[in-house]
Structure 1
Amino acid sequence: MPATDLSLLVKAAEQAGDIACRYTGPAARRWDKPGGAGPVTEADLAVNAMLEDMLQQARPGYGWLSEETEDSAARLARDRVFIIDPIDGTRSFAEGSRTWAHSIAVAEQGEVTAAVVYLPQRELMYTAAKGLGAACNGNPIKVSSATELASTEILAAKPNLQAHHWLGGAPPAFIRSYRPSLAYRLAKVADGRFGAMLTLRPSWEWDIAAGDLLLREAGGAISDRSGSPLRFNNPHPRLNGVIAGCRALHQALLAALDPSSPGIAGL
């Protein structure tokens, strides 16, 4: 089933890209969601409507979890569920940047089994299916072979480097970079461009699900900030941060973090 699901997700992502690219970013109508949940644009909603129609028609027995659809407990009774972020990096999209992604995944009994992260304006299609490896534009990818934090470039927003998050009061030495889309950050670790990534804030499942499988199928390790494995389709679909990378750096970051430090809100 993961292989056939993946072909469906690829087709859906291509159609999502066609729809999103009809909008011009800053010219797309934009508003803020209630409760400080961030911005949404008419492009997000158009993509979401297409994906919901296409994917649920193709797999009527699957549940549905999307950032832009009101959540329903009905998904909890389904063995398989689509987990969707129609546009990951909405702020970036609305500002006219090309660095935003469609993040589309299938999870079965809590484990992601098929995944796509697609950046249409960068012509990057990341794909993975359980047991079949990960690829970018059809070419196999694998995580970095780095072993030392100090000589490795890591994706992290600045608030994650505040001293109180780290044992000893100071973060380990590494080269920090950033990308606005969480799904893209995970993909760039999966393809070996960066050694690891971390976010210490509570993270929505739709931002993480597709990248989780990319990382694992590319030979990497991924967990929440405490080191626990990620499980999906939870009643409250939020994870306790994310640490991901090649295995050596994943372990090094976990060892350096203070497990008692508070999370980061709104990042």
Structure 2
Amino acid sequence: SKVGLVLNPMKNELYTAIKGEGAFLNNELIHVKSALENKLTFLASRSEIKRGEWDIYEEEAEVIPTGSIAYKLAMVAAGKADATFSLGPKNEWDIASGCLLVEEAGGIATDTYGQSFIFNQKNTLVNSIVGTSKVASKKVFELINKKRKYYVRKQ
């Protein structure tokens, strides 16, 4: 993506990014978190939380229910959480702006295997998504693999 925009009208928040020019919240420059705290903060789908899919993280992370993958990625870009991720498929139009926001804010936006996205392909579904800061990425990917193993055992 070259330009990204995420709007939350209820909170009067407009997140914008232009490739190579940074990420902004209401015209103020934003950055992903630059330091780790004792517990990671994850933004997660309310429905996944209700189903108990995030229970395995109670020891390592605070999990905050948040709607919209685009908004979750924007909040990670603004340093409001360490990461967000989903192991399930997403449409590229739901994540492209958020990915650019995270990257322009100094973070990482890939699939949960660490592979970069190539948008505007014939198949518009991506297999998974993670948006995180570089400082949290090692721990985040460790926890993603823990969740992936949990799903394999559950099925």
TM-score past 0.5 threshold: yes
Report deviation, 1:250.
2.2
Report deviation, 1:171.
7.6
In structure 2, relative to structure 1, the CA distance for the partners of 1:120 and 1:171 (3 Å cut) is: closer
- The structure number with the bigger radius of gyration is 1
Distance in structure 2 (CA, Å) of the matches to 1:138 and 1:154: 25
In structure 2, relative to structure 1, the CA distance for the partners of 1:235 and 1:114 (3 Å cut) is: same
- Which residue matches 2:92? 205
- Which residue matches 1:258? 145
Deviation string for 1:10-50 (max 9, x for gaps)? xxxxxxxxxxxxxxxxxxxxxxxxxxxxxxxxxxxxxxxxx
Q: Contact (CA 8 Å) 1:146, 1:195: kept in 2 or not?
A: no
Deviation string for 1:208-228 (max 9, x for gaps)? 010000000000111101111
Q: Find the partner of 2:43 among 155, 166, 169.
A: 155
CA RMSD of aligned residues (A): 2.2
Compute the TM-score of the two structures, normalised by the length of structure 2. Answer: 0.83
Distance in structure 1 (CA, Å) of the matches to 2:10 and 2:35: 29
Report deviation, 1:141.
0.4
* One-letter identity of the residue aligned with 2:17: A
Report deviation, 1:248.
2.2
- Which residue matches 1:129? 18
- Which residue matches 1:244? 131
In structure 2, relative to structure 1, the CA distance for the partners of 1:173 and 1:141 (3 Å cut) is: same
**Which protein, 1 or 2, shows the higher relative CO under an 8 Å CA cutoff with sep ≥ 6?**
2
In structure 2, relative to structure 1, the CA distance for the partners of 1:160 and 1:202 (3 Å cut) is: farther
Report deviation, 1:160.
4.4
- How many matched pairs? 145
* One-letter identity of the residue aligned with 2:106: G
Q: Contact (CA 8 Å) 1:215, 1:245: kept in 2 or not?
A: yes
Distance in structure 2 (CA, Å) of the matches to 1:251 and 1:118: 29
Q: Contact (CA 8 Å) 2:54, 2:63: kept in 1 or not?
A: no
User: Which structure 2 residue ranges, 5 or more long, are not aligned?
Assistant: none
Deviation string for 1:69-109 (max 9, x for gaps)? xxxxxxxxxxxxxxxxxxxxxxxxxxxxxxxxxxxxxxxxx
Distance in structure 2 (CA, Å) of the matches to 1:197 and 1:140: 20
Q: Contact (CA 8 Å) 2:40, 2:60: kept in 1 or not?
A: no
- Which residue matches 1:83? none
Report deviation, 1:162.
6.3
**SS of 2:135 mapped into structure 1:** helix
Distance in structure 1 (CA, Å) of the matches to 2:102 and 2:16: 11
Distance in structure 1 (CA, Å) of the matches to 2:127 and 2:59: 21
In the TM superposition, 1:60-139 aligns within 5 A as: 112-139=1-28
Compute the TM-score of the two structures, normalised by the length of structure 1. Answer: 0.50
- Amino-acid identity (%): 31
Q: Decide which structure has greater strand share.
A: 2
Q: Contact (CA 8 Å) 1:198, 1:244: kept in 2 or not?
A: yes
Matched, 1:191 2:84: no
